[in-house]
Amino acid sequence: MLQVYEVTIDQLKEGISLSRKNALRLARDAAVLLTHGASRGSVYALWHLAVEELGKNLILKERGLKEVSPGKVQIPARIFEGSHKDKFDAGLTFLPQTQQSGLGLSVTVTANSSAVDTTFEDPYGGKEAITIAPGMTGKVTVGGGIEPSHDLRLRLLYVDFDGTRWWEPEAELISEIMAKTSLNEENLKGAIDELLAALTTA
C-alpha cells in the first residue's frame, strides 16, 4: 500500500515554497560550476537534482488540488524516499526545449595514432555516431540527441565495470585514440537557462 502523509494546506504551501527554493539553489550552483570550468558530469548532476526538486514542487502543487478533508491533503511519502525518475520526469515536462532537443556531446581527442577513420557510438546514448579522422586531435562537437535521464547522471558520476573493462565517467580509450568525452557546454548551458527561467514561474 502506498504510504502517504496527511498535511494541512499551510504545511503543503511551505513544502511547495521550500522545494522551489532548493531547486533554484541547485540550478544556480550548476550554472556557477559550468562558468568556472567544472566537469560537465558534476554540472549535469546538479542540474538533474534541480529538475528533480522542480518535479517535487509540481507534484506537491498537484496534491493541493485534492483535499481529502477540509484543509487537509495527502502527499505520497515516496517523493521523499526516492522515486528519482518520477520526480525528474515531472520536472522535465516543464522544460520543453531541453526535452525536445536533448543534450549534445563534445569529444576532445588528445592522442591519435590511427591510420583510418574511427567511428564509435555516443557513450551516453545519443543518436549520432562520432567519426575521428586519422591523426586528428582537438575537439569535436556532436549535435543533440542525448536524453537527460537518471541513468545518464549515474554514467557521468561513477566509475563503472562491465565485466571486461573499466569505464571512467568522462574518458574513453578507443583503439589507438585517446579521447575525453563530455556533455556539450552550449547544450548544458541552454538546459540550465531554461530551468532557471522555469523556476521563476514555478
Question: Domain check: are 18 and 118 in the same one?
Answer: no
Question: Domain check: are 137 and 195 in the same one?
Answer: no
Q: Quick one: average pLDDT of 4-13?
A: 91
Query: pLDDT at position 71, please?
Result: 85
Statement: residue 107 has pLDDT above 70: yes
Question: Domain check: are 18 and 92 in the same one?
Answer: yes
Question: Domain check: are 180 and 195 in the same one?
Answer: no
Percent of the chain scoring above 70 in pLDDT: 93
Q: Which of 3-7, 8-12, 103-107, 197-201 is predicted least confidently?
A: 103-107
Statement: residue 26 has pLDDT above 70: yes
What are 54-71's pLDDT values in tens digits?
Answer: 999 999 999 877 877 888
What are 115-156's pLDDT values in tens digits?
Answer: 888 887 777 766 777 788 888 888 877 766 788 888 888 878
Continuous segment of H or E residues that includes residue 105: strand 103-112
Question: Domain check: are 95 and 107 in the same one?
Answer: no
Question: Domain check: are 59 and 91 in the same one?
Answer: yes
Domain containing 125: what range? 102-184
Cell of 21: 527554493
Question: Domain check: are 107 and 84 in the same one?
Answer: no
The secondary structure of 40-83 as a DSSP string is: HHHHHHHHHHHHHHHHHHHHHHHHTT-EEETTEEEEEGGGGS--
User: Mapping DSSP to helix (H, G, I), strand (E, B) and coil, where does residue 166 land?
Assistant: strand
Question: Domain check: are 159 and 137 in the same one?
Answer: yes
Question: Domain check: are 107 and 65 in the same one?
Answer: no
Number of domains in the chain: 2
Query: pLDDT at position 51, please?
Result: 96
- How many other β-carbons are positioned within 10 Å of the β-carbon of residue 21? 12
Query: pLDDT at position 171, please?
Result: 61
Question: Domain check: are 76 and 138 in the same one?
Answer: no
Q: What is the mean pLDDT of the chain?
A: 86
Task: Report how far residue 191's alpha carbon sits from residue 102's, in angstroms, rounded to the nearest whole number.
Answer: 9
Question: Domain check: are 109 and 176 in the same one?
Answer: yes
